[in-house]
């Protein structure tokens, strides 16, 4: 490594911008450029993508010039469990119903917390929360989901 | 003396026991729903619409309006307490409100929001009563070119939102603009960046992005460092603003109200910009601008006033022209039609009791909000002292249900998870999400108006300078840009010298 | 063994469906648009009346997105048991296949028609200050200034966009199509005079016409609208073959059991013909159709063919 990265945050942010910018330019190739008086759907995204790419490069360069703070550890456990719990909720909601989806979301995401204990108190609170949601959203506001979905029907 | 007669008619309509009751119900429901993250007024009003069928039209409308501004208010509560802005308007309230909450000043932030909202609501009610029809005529003068220039000004203002690096502020704004372009292009009907998913054909809902980036991102970050958080919340100071606080909030409230009212009457989506604009303006003119982003009371007072004024003022095009400036107003119009009333210019003359009753009920509703919420502040503040490991699953649950209820689709929940990951990344890299959110709102509108203006002018770009409104806005943008960039560049030079 | 079990379960399921009185649980009405629009309004008008007739909740599920394609696809994928049906508009039944490249439903093969609910003519409106005061004047103006007059529409490929295209084709003229995000902003720009002309649903513009803020040049029905007795039809104004209605219709997933379909059809027709509902609908410009499933299928086929041609001739494609 010839040049050390002095500002890792700038480095990764630059990569992020450049990635999004390039993706926008690439995807917008198919959209029709038009002309500056009658712009096609690809005009605006391409211009914005190029600007973002430029900013990404600038941030990238700055990573080697200016000094910045380190990034610090990534909260992998929280990141994975909270995301997984949310995805699971979305997946379960229609076929399994609101109650199982909520239980899955709460249990999976709660496991991300170091302080969370699966004791009676926590289970009781979970039941209260699930009952509250069922009453307020489904019974009260008429949200069009079932409490127990088709998976639980004969 | 027309005004007095009209207001008298309004009071006799709005102050009947039934209407007062439903106003209270609406405001209460709205606040409760606004406090729950993700669940917005659109879904709620849609779900409660059948309930209103049995009511008199004016009663139904009073209740629905109550839900709307109640939800606006409730949304700020969540933004301040847990940094979860459920509406575009509360994104900026969260910036300083949440910082205040973490400094133990949650009660003061909430009280400030309530007072600012009440003042703005009152002022705006009078504005509607005095000058709704002429104002709506003024608003119609705004053509596509003028809206585009307004968006340019908004873009300049968004740079001010960031408190850190200018480069990253620009990067996040452009990223937001690009994310806003996801979905079907209005001008050609072509779906862009949608990866052939019909769920992306209408773009990503603002609430989905906000819940992901702020809600999930924040939760993931907090889980990593739980000791910090509870510590910051132990010392809660007084709940009510001090004399000094009062002094600092008056001018921002006045400016915010003025700005919010002005932007709110524009049917083309001005109200959404009002809180952003008010925050940026305040940060530029305030003597305490260094405190912005670190818990400045002005940063709560101004956008809250602007937000409520904008929400209230958006009734002007709805009532006088029958034009909805946001999805909630579209629903109100639907409700009116279902009650057999054709919204439009004739409502004021043919249904004066309905018009003035609603106007007066807005003021009553704002009073209810204040009375209802000031005593609740203590309760809210106690709520955030609940241990985080018990609180966060509840936040997550409400986010998920709320996001689902936007369009009754699980895809929005998936997208929220995706934006949660992005939000956590932004946090780690010191990329501020607030400018991105403003870019997200501005992006599609800016392109739409730019292309429409050029289409209508037959490709002549001079429309932007020959139309007086547009030209004026562009000049203001240029001046603002200089005012924004100069100090930043100067600071940069100083930093360079210091190194 | 597994298959036998599945078959048994299926058989039992079918049996219970035919024997139990429909409906014995809540019914979902999918509206493929956001709440507050015309289609949503029709659904919300019939839902409480169906609930009263059948004694089961009829829940409205707004599945907006992709000009109705998301909701229609959800209906296609629902079980054809009568517990899910849809209220949708002309675009979903007759236009989307020609406009959207990767449509995931076929409006004929995947949907079981129940009835056309309501229809309403479009109105050709202009700002009162616009130079042309009648259809012949408009045509003359368009011929003199080709590609100068702006036609606002509620979106590329919307029914009002296609009505404008049909009008150009029938009169041999052309204008600038300016699409908006829905009807409301288009009407706003017409009121302000930023846009010149538009074909809009009568219910969306009637109050502006009555208040004198918009001028109606013609209605697109084959006869005059009772709401606008002084406004000529396009035919009377000399433009033949451009009679257009925007319409809302009810359909379920393909393969509804005959008895369920019959029951549902009778219930919906009764709800639509309810005198209170009829009056309310007619007051805002809708005409109650409430025909048979066969009539709907036939009408839908006509409309599909017509819009296919308009789109082909006008070379309307999404760039």
Q: How would you write the pLDDT of chain C (319 residues) with one tens digit per residue?
A: 444 444 444 444 444 444 458 888 889 999 998 877 889 889 988 998 999 999 888 988 888 888 888 899 999 988 899 999 999 999 999 998 888 877 889 999 999 999 999 999 999 999 999 999 999 999 999 999 888 899 999 888 888 899 999 999 999 999 999 999 888 889 989 998 999 999 998 988 888 898 888 999 999 988 999 999 999 999 999 898 888 999 999 999 999 999 999 999 999 999 999 998 898 888 888 999 999 999 999 999 999 999 999 888 887 765 4
Nearest Cβ partner for C28 among A34, A41, A144: A144
Radius of gyration in angstroms for the set of CA atoms belonging to chain B, rounded to a whole number: 22
**A59 and A91 share one domain:** no
Residue A42 backbone phi and psi in degrees, to 5: -95, -10
* B174·A55 Cβ contact <8 A: yes
Alpha helices in B141-234 (DSSP H): 144-161, 166-180, 206-210, 217-224, 226-232
Model pLDDT for residues B434-484, shown as the tens digit of each residue = 889 888 988 888 998 999 999 888 888 898 999 999 999 999 999 888 887
The per-residue pLDDT for A1 is 46
Q: Which residues on chain C are in Cβ contact (under 8 Å) with A144?
A: 28, 59-61
* B141·C192 Cβ contact <8 A: yes
Q: Are C289 and C146 in contact (CB under 8 A)?
A: no
**A83 and A57 share one domain:** no
DSSP state of C198: E
The residues spanned by each domain of chain C are: 25-119+247-313, 121-219
Tokens linked to B52: 């209103």
Residuewise pLDDT in 10s, chain A (154 residues): 456 788 889 999 999 999 999 999 999 988 888 876 678 889 899 999 999 999 999 998 988 888 888 888 888 888 999 999 999 999 999 899 999 999 999 999 988 887 777 788 888 889 999 999 998 888 877 788 888 887 876 5
If one counts every other C-beta atom within 10 angstroms of the C-beta of residue C57, the result is: 15
Residue of B nearest to C147 (CA): B458
Rounded Cα distance, C159 and C67, in Å: 11
* A83·B421 Cβ contact <8 A: yes
Q: Which residues on chain C are in Cβ contact (under 8 Å) with A31?
A: 319
Nearest Cβ partner for A59 among B167, B390, B400: B167
If one counts every other C-beta atom within 10 angstroms of the C-beta of residue C266, the result is: 12
The per-residue pLDDT for A129 is 92
Query: CATH homologous superfamily for C121-219?
Result: Periplasmic binding protein-like II (3.40.190.10)
Residue of A nearest to C16 (CA): A154
Q: Is residue A2 part of a domain?
A: no
Least confident of A23-27, B70-74, B251-255, C136-140: B70-74
**A16 and A61 share one domain:** yes
Q: Which residues on chain B are in Cβ contact (under 8 Å) with A54?
A: none
The share of chain B scoring above pLDDT 90, in percent, equals 25
The per-residue pLDDT for C12 is 41
Rounded Cα distance, B435 and B419, in Å: 15
Rounded Cα distance, B441 and B177, in Å: 7
ipTM of the complex: 0.93
* B392·A58 Cβ contact <8 A: no
Rounded Cα distance, A59 and A7, in Å: 10
Pairs across A and B, CB distance < 8 A: 190
The per-residue pLDDT for C198 is 95
Q: Is residue A102 part of a domain?
A: yes
Buried b / exposed e across C230-249, counting CB within 10 Å, b at 16+? ebbbbbebebeebbbbbbbb
Q: Is some CB atom of chain C closer than 8 A to the CB atom of B338? A: yes
Q: Is some CB atom of chain A closer than 8 A to the CB atom of B230? A: no
**A82 and A135 share one domain:** yes
Please tell me the distance in Å from C142's CA to the nearest CA on chain B: 15
The per-residue pLDDT for C14 is 43
If one counts every other C-beta atom within 10 angstroms of the C-beta of residue C169, the result is: 16
Buried b / exposed e across B240-254, counting CB within 10 Å, b at 16+? ebeeebeebbebbbb
* B186·C155 Cβ contact <8 A: yes
Three-class SS string for C54-93? HCCCEEEEECCCHHHHHHHHHHHHCCCCCCEEEEEEHHHH
Residue of B nearest to C276 (CA): B340
Residue of C nearest to A95 (CA): C78
3.40.718.10, 3.40.190.150, 3.40.50.300, 3.40.50.920: CATH of C25-119+247-313: 3.40.190.150
Domain count, chain A: 2
Please tell me the distance in Å from A148's CA to the nearest CA on chain B: 15
If one counts every other C-beta atom within 10 angstroms of the C-beta of residue B318, the result is: 25
Element (H, E) at C306: helix C293-313
Q: Is residue A87 part of a domain?
A: yes
Distances (CA, A) of B227 to A69, A111, A113, B221, B222: 22, 17, 12, 12, 9
Distances (CA, A) of B299 to B116, B192, B370, B487, C243: 11, 36, 20, 20, 57
Q: Is some CB atom of chain C closer than 8 A to the CB atom of B447? A: no
Residue of A nearest to C84 (CA): A144
3-state secondary structure of C233: strand
* C179·B189 Cβ contact <8 A: yes
**A81 and A41 share one domain:** no
Residue of C nearest to B410 (CA): C63
Using alpha carbons, select from C121, C148, C120 the residue that is nearest to residue C132: C148
Residue identified by tokens 């849609």 is B46
What is the rounded average pLDDT of the residues B85-113?
A: 86
Which chains have 3+ CB pairs within 8 A of B? Answer: A, C
The per-residue pLDDT for C50 is 92
* A16·B216 Cβ contact <8 A: no
DSSP string, chain A: --S--S-HHHHHHHHHHHHHHHHHHHHHGGG--B-SSSB-TTHHHHHHHHHHHHHHHHHHHHHHHS---------HHHHHHHHHHHHHHHHHHHHH-HHHHHHHHHHHHHTT-SS---SHHHHHHHHHHHHHHIIIIIIIS--S--SS-GGG--
- Residue span of the structural domain in which A33 resides: 8-65
The per-residue pLDDT for B223 is 81
């Amino acid at each position: 490594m010839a040049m050390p990265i002095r500002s890792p945050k700038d480095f990764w942010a630059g990569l992020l911008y450049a990635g999004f910018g390039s993706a926008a330019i690439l995807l917008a190739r198919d959209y029709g450029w038009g002309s500056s008086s009658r712009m096609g759907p690809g005009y605006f995204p391409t211009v914005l993508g190029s600007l973002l790419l430029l900013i990404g490069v600038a941030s990238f360069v700055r990573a080697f010039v200016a000094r910045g703070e380190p990034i610090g550890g990534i909260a992998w456990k929280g990141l994975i469990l909270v995301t997984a719990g949310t995805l699971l909720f979305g997946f379960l909601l229609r076929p399994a119903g609101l109650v199982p989806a909520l239980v899955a979301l709460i249990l999976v995401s709660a496991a991300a917390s170091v302080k969370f204990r699966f004791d009676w108190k926590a289970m009781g609170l979970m039941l209260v929360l699930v009952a509250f949601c069922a009453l307020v959203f489904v019974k009260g506001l008429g949200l069009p989901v079932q409490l127990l979905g088709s998976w639980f029907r004969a | 003396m027309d005004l007095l007669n009209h207001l008298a008619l309004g009071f006799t309509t709005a102050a009947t026991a039934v209407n007062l009751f439903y106003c209270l119900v609406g405001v209460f429901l709205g606040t409760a729903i606004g406090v729950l993250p993700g669940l917005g007024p659109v879904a709620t009003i849609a779900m409660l619409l059948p309930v209103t069928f049995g009511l008199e039209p004016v009663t139904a409308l009073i209740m629905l309006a109550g839900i709307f501004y109640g939800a606006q208010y409730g949304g700020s509560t969540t933004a301040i307490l847990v940094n979860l802005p459920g509406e575009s308007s509360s994104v900026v309230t969260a910036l300083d409100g949440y910082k205040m909450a973490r400094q133990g000043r949650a009660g003061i932030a909430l009280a400030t929001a309530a007072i600012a909202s009440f003042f703005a609501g009152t002022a705006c009610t009078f504005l509607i009563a005095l000058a709704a029809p002429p104002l709506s005529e003024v608003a119609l003068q705004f053509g596509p070119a003028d809206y585009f220039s307004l968006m340019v000004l908004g873009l300049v203002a968004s740079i001010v939102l960031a408190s850190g690096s200018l480069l990253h502020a620009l990067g996040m704004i452009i990223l937001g603009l690009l994310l806003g372009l996801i979905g079907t292009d209005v001008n050609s009907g072509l779906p862009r960046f949608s990866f052939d998913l019909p769920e992306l054909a209408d773009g990503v809902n603002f609430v989905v992005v906000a819940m992901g980036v702020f809600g999930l991102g924040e939760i993931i970050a907090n889980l990593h460092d739980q000791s910090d958080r509870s510590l910051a919340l132990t010392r809660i100071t007084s709940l009510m603003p001090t004399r000094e606080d009062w002094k600092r909030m008056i001018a921002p409230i006045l400016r915010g109200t003025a700005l919010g009212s002005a932007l709110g009457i524009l049917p083309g989506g001005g109200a959404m910009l009002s809180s952003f604009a008010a925050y940026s303006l305040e940060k530029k003119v305030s003597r305490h601008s260094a405190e912005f982003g670190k818990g400045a009371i002005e940063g709560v007072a101004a956008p809250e006033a602007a937000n409520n004024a904008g929400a209230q003022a958006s009734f002007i095009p709805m009532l006088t022209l029958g034009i909805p400036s946001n999805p909630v107003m579209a629903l109100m119009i639907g409700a009116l039609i279902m009650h057999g009333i054709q919204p439009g210019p004739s409502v004021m003359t043919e249904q004066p009791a309905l018009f003035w009753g609603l106007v007066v009920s807005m003021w009553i509703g704002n009073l209810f909000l204040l009375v209802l919420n000031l005593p609740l502040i203590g309760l809210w503040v106690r709520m955030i002292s609940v241990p985080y490991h018990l609180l966060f699953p509840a936040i997550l649950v409400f986010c998920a249900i709320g996001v689902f209820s936007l369009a009754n689709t699980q895809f929005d929940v998936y997208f929220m998870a995706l934006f949660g990951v992005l939000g956590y990344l932004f946090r780690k890299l010191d990329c501020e999400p607030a400018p991105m959110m403003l870019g997200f709102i501005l992006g599609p509108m800016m392109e739409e108006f730019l292309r429409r203006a050029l289409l209508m002018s037959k490709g002549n770009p001079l429309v932007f300078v020959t139309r007086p409104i547009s030209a004026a806005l562009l000049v203001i943008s240029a001046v603002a840009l200089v005012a924004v960039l100069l100090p930043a560049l100067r600071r940069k030079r100083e930093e360079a010298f210091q190194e | 063994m597994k298959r036998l079990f599945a078959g048994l379960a299926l058989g039992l399921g079918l049996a219970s469906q035919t024997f139990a009185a429909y409906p014995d649980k809540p019914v979902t009405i999918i509206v493929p648009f956001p709440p507050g629009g015309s289609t949503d309004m029709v659904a919300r008008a019939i839902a409480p009346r169906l609930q009263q007739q059948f004694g089961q909740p009829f829940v409205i599920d707004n599945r907006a997105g992709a000009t109705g394609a998301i909701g229609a696809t959800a209906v296609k994928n629902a079980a054809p048991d009568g517990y899910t049906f849809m209220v949708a508009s002309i675009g979903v039944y007759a236009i989307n296949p020609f406009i959207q490249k990767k449509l995931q439903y076929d409006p004929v093969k995947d949907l079981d028609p129940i009835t056309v609910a309501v229809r309403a003519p479009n109105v050709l409106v202009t700002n009162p200050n616009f130079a042309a005061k009648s259809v012949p004047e408009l045509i003359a103006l368009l011929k003199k200034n080709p590609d100068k007059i702006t036609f606002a529409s509620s979106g590329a490929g919307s029914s009002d966009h296609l009505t404008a295209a049909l009008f150009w084709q029938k009169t041999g003229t052309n204008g600038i199509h300016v699409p908006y995000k829905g009807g409301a902003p288009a009407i706003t720009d017409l009121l302000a005079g930023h846009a010149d002309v538009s074909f809009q649903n009568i219910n969306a513009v009637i109050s502006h016409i009555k208040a004198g803020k918009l001028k109606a040049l013609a209605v697109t029905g084959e006869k005059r609208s009772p709401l606008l007795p002084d406004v000529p039809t396009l035919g009377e104004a000399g433009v033949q073959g451009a009679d257009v209605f925007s319409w809302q219709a009810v359909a379920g997933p393909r393969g509804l059991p005959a008895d369920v379909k019959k029951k549902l059809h009778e219930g919906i027709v009764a709800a639509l013909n309810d005198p209170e509902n009829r009056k309310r609908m007619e007051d805002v410009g809708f005409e109650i159709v409430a025909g048979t499933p066969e009539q709907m299928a036939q009408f839908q086929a006509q409309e599909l063919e017509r819009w296919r041609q308009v789109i082909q001739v006008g070379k309307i494609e999404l760039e």
